Amino acid sequence: MKTKILIALAALSLATAALAVNEPAIIPQPQSLTRLEGSFKLAEEMTIYTDAAAAETGRMLAGKFRQATGWQFRVSNQTSPDGKITDGILLTTAGADAALGEEGYEMTVNTNLVVIRARTAAGLFYGAVTLVQLLPPEMCSSSAANGQIAWEAPCVKITDVPRFPWRGFMLDVSRHFFNQDEVKQMLNTMALHKLNTLHWHLVDDNGWRIEIKKYPKLTSVGAWRDGVGFGMDKNSTTAYGPDGRYGGFYTQDDIREVIAYAARLHITIIPEIEMPGHSLAALTAYPELGSGPGPFEIPLKGGVNPGIFSPAKPEAFEFLQNVLLEVFDLFPAKYIHIGGDEVPKEPWKKDAACQALMKQENLKNEQELQSWFTRRMEAFINAHGKTLLGWSEILEGGLAQNAAVMDWIGGATEAASKGHDVVMSPTSNCYFDYYQGRDHTEEPRAIGGYLPLEKVYALEPIPAKLAPEFHKHILGAQGNVWTEYIANLKHVQYMAFPRLSALAEVTWSPKTARNFEDFTRRLKTNNQRLEQMGVNFRTYRPETRTLIGGWKPAQIKSEPAPLEWDVTKLVTAAGNVRVSLEYTAGACGIDIAWVALLADGAELHRDAHVGFTGGSPRQPVYSLTVPSPKPGVHYTMRAQVSGSGGTDSTGNVFWDLKPLAK
């Protein structure tokens, strides 16, 4: 009897282990998933059956399987004589439920047969992506896996429909140029997560990246600058031309190639052609179109000249319309993004022609002049069957009639309540150029800010105050990688993942299905997939620090002066503590000379190095040795700081103690 019990327990243990190995780790989480008994095993020369709508997805799936396993897989549109299939994989639109919509799918994985059913090719594609995720992570490898891999998928029944139609990622290629092969690599990772929109930020102050045949100087002049800029090492990137200039651009054939590649992955590419601001690259090539003192030049940092397109010059509109005509021919997407953000109004205020135009059109201020400009461009865009999309600022002065808004600083509720479509992209949850960890010594340089994985996952795209009847106008959300300090693809990937994985779940999965603890469990497997794809991701590490206090403008002086915080309750064991000073608001930051730990006013240890916390922090983390606590001793932490260019800074101070190993 004892032996039988031990055997039963061993069998149960093995079954439990097998279940754990086969536990689905799908990202984004499906709408509904039911586990069934057993597993489905891939076999060499297995057949993938398709109907006409599924043929391309079938070939894609066979190629993916062949690439990872080294086996051959057949793709066939022929079924058995009685029309039934008993083994293999079937992709079909026959009998698909109308409730699946344009992107949903149903999947049943049995021990001998996988059936993926959808109304559209897109739905079939997403079902195939889920099947890939049910198989071992090695299925995402670009070459045949080494060793013996059990190519098994757990038996499941899945019904899956995305929550939002816009599930996006924005890549800024103006600050630093990424070639078409690098863009394709990002498209591959998007497809793995069922993301369907790439917002391609093609032009800005720092570079013009799209060939426009009517205006060749846009790329011969506007696509290049004297160096990498932004204080970055010249070797952080390889985007140099034969003459040593930094930059690059896409030919129209390059654009077509990337668009076609994305289409096969069911990803729509939205181009952004900035206007009327963020246009120094264009104005460097064609300065006669601008307002501002000139001469215009491509900056190596932020904008160095506040030049913008002049709405008082008919030739500026002619130029922009001709540019857009070529853009329309290249991009089949419904939306054309015109930027519209951070437009400096001073050039228009000082421009006599702009002021005369405002008087002629009865415009009260320069905000209304921008709205007038946007409405004129919208009429042209609408006349060509497209819809204008712009950042939050296009609301200022009045929103164009049919425009859609990409909300980064507010305005979603106002716009949606008036019947305008909105894409959510708030800085608080969607700016992936922000730091992922508070300890900047452990992170690559970033523009500033702090956006941990938890906060991305916590995004709720529907504004809390938006009435239910307007919820349909919230199209979805997207994560943005602005690349001021990101000059190569590996860095882009590190900043995007795993935060983009979290956003994929936010935009696809039902709100009620989201669970961060379960997401991080599935993320471990998803990271293995990314590793197989050669993607450089950041490993998720929960925040371990404690907020001990902060500072306000009244405490900051122009000359170095001490700030002090009580840390008695935090000195719980001997160890090493990392102290982080984090700027949160203000036009200026603070310079830091040193940080010290004191016991009853006597200094125990000091870390003296020059640090700065502000828009672009530099070494604001300090290491201190903490002794074993003594009863009755009062411990404080002191920092010697001064205002950097002003005294209006606000910030927080964090304590992260690592006790000594016993």
DSSP letter at 210 equals: B
Give Dmax (Cα) for the chain: 100
Q: How far apart are CA 197 and CA 165, in angstroms?
A: 9
The torsion region of residue 619 among left (phi > 0), alpha (psi -120 to 50) and beta comes to left
Of the listed 266, 278, 337, 420, which one is catalytic? 278
| Active-site hit among 106, 138, 172, 204 | 204
Distance of alpha carbon 395 from alpha carbon 484, whole angstroms: 26
Task: Outline where DSSP puts E strands in 196-283.
Answer: 197-201, 203-204, 207-208, 224-225, 246-247, 268-272
- Residue 382: exposed, middle, or buried by beta-carbon count in 10 A (0-12, 13-18, 19+)? middle
Q: Respond yes or no: is residue 204 known to be catalytic.
A: yes
Could you give the CA distance from residue 282 to residue 425 in angstroms, rounded to a whole number?
Answer: 26
187's tokens: 């498209």
Q: What is the torsional sign of CA 187, 193, 198, 201?
A: negative
**What is the rounded distance in angstroms from the CA atom of residue 488 to the CA atom of residue 490?**
6
* Known catalytic residue at 181: no
Rounded to the nearest 10 degrees, the angle between the axes of helix 516-532 and helix 499-508 is 120
Helix axes 180-192, 252-264, angle to 10 degrees: 20
Q: Tell the burial category of 628 from Cβ atoms under 10 Å away from its Cβ (0-12, 13-18, 19+).
A: exposed
| Alpha-carbon gap, residue 211 to 226, rounded angstroms | 20
The amino acid sitting at 362 is: N
- SS3 category, 599: strand
Q: How far is CA 403 from the centre of its chain?
A: 23
Contacts of 35 (CB under 8 A, 6+ apart): 24, 154, 155, 156
- Helix, strand, coil % over all residues of the chain, rounded to 5: 35, 25, 40
Cα-Cα end-to-end distance for the chain: 44
Residue 278 annotated among the catalytic residues of the structure: yes
Which residues, listed in sequence order, are joined to residue 478 by a DSSP beta bridge?
Answer: 168
> Torsion over CA of 358, 364, 365 and 366, rounded to 10 degrees?
-40
Q: Which residue out of 342, 531, 543, 648 is catalytically annotated?
A: 342
Q: Which residues are catalytic?
A: 204, 278, 342
